[in-house]
Amino acid sequence: MNKPRQFQIHVAQSEIAALRERLLSVRWPDEVNDEVWSYGMRRAYLQELVSYWRDTFDWPQREASINELDQFLIDIDGLDLHFIHQRSTHKDATALLLTHGWPGSIVEFLEVIPRLTDPERFGGSAQDAFHVVCPSLPGYGYSAAAHVPGMHPGKIAARHAKLMASLGYDKYIAQGGDWGSIITQRLAQMDASHCQAIHLNFLPPIPPANLGHSMHDLSEREIEWIRANEVYERTGKGYMHIQRTRPQTLAYALSDSPVGLCAWIAEKFHFWADVERGGSRDIRNAISWDQLLTNVSLYYFTGTIGSSIRLYREFIEALARHDIEPSAYLSTPTGIAVYPGEVPKCPRSWAEKACNLVHWFEAERGGHFAAMEQPQIFAEDLWNFHKRLLIPS
């Protein structure tokens, strides 16, 4: 394994200009009158967002803000892995591995990383400090994509274990949501001697096999969580079915059309983030358009939307081949955070049957992209989780 090489993002001005030219020539489809977006993203909203992307959004400024963080590339098993490695000024800080999901990226963690490395600036203490390692998943952003089948969450977890070892971290905590949650759980299983604890802000509500009448033990609010997830299973997973069956066909459209890419990603933020305020739903109630478009632009400029969605197919194939075996019980100390805007929410009693639950937190704000939506709440929860781990049992 090679040593890390310093890296910074640089998108040429000609590429930025070419994107703006493409955003000037859009063939807009017709639509039905659908105020609640049940058919998908509303045209008027997308037109306004695309106009902002073309005329107002400042990629060089956003690029510069990412480049303020310490970034590296490292060759792991023949593929470059891109990652942020931001060390705290507190030398004895705990190592923390942050893993994003889809359609997110390292952009999700830009505002939370300073809160984790320098907590005293944000109301924390020196004891709360972390050395943060934040990799881009293979085929996302500036991490190289695998071009042969088989880059599933288990293999990604193994790559992350090698990354932490290469950086000299003998002990660490891992955190993840979305794919990051699945990868983090695999990591805890395969690198148990080094991964001391994990924290998840996404856990699907799977009824425990050994819990008889599992619904009888749930509160009314938890039953509402399950009912909402059942609706989501019927009406909100079309994207998943195509991405886990024919991702390459979809990749042509999303790679070629920046507007199509923007719609595909932005719709997920509209439905998965905590966007409702006063009966009105708008992405800007959760994150700014600049944050959203930084994430979209990263996918566009790196041309990685196709390689990113292949992970859905790789996961399904790995399960079918039994390359990944679900664990009956995860013994690693685990923290769970539940955010109100998240659709799949797992009842606490079910989580307790699935893992060694040592920390449970229910946030007042935030959704699927928790670190991006509520960086202070997210950081404070990790501080509290860390403190709990330090308290002798």
CA distance 193 to 210: 28
Is 178 catalytic? The answer is yes
In the block, tokens 């640089």 appear at: 10
Confidence (pLDDT) at 97: 98
What number of other Cβ atoms are within 10 A of residue 27's Cβ?
A: 6
Give the integer Cα–Cα distance in Å for 365 and 359.
18
Domains of the chain, earliest start first:
43-390 (3.40.50.1820)
The pLDDT value recorded for residue 83 is 98
Q: Are 84 and 116 in contact (CB under 8 A)?
A: no
Regarding beta strands 330-338 and 355-362, do their DSSP bridges make them parallel or antiparallel, or are they unpaired?
A: parallel
Report the candidate in 305, 292, 326, 288 with the shortest Cα–Cα distance to residue 102. 305
Closest by alpha carbon to 274, among 359, 358, 374? 374
- Give the count of beta carbons closer than 10 Å to the beta carbon of residue 283: 19
pLDDT at site 214: 61
C-alpha to C-alpha distances, 354 to 98, 189, 205, 207, 377, nearest whole angstrom: 21, 13, 10, 9, 25
Taking alpha carbons only, the member of 387, 391, 392 closest to residue 126 is 387
Structural contact between residues 118 and 128, judged by C-beta atoms closer than 8 angstroms: no
- The reported pLDDT for the residue numbered 393 is 43
What's the rounded Cα separation, in Å, for the pair 254 and 252? 6
Catalytic position from the list 312, 359, 381, 386: 312
Instruction: For 266-320, give the DSSP string.
Output: HHHHHHHS--EETTEE-GGGTS-HHHHHHHHHHHHHHT-HHHHHHHHHHHHHHHH
Low-confidence residues of the chain, pLDDT below 70?
1, 210-214, 391-393
Of the candidates 100, 270, 368, 386, the residue annotated as catalytic is 368
Query: Is 58 annotated as catalytic?
Result: no
Q: Looking at 178, 274, 290, 381, which residue is catalytic?
A: 178
Distance CA 19, CA 88 (A): 37
Q: Dump the DSSP string for 340-353.
A: TT-SS---HHHHHH
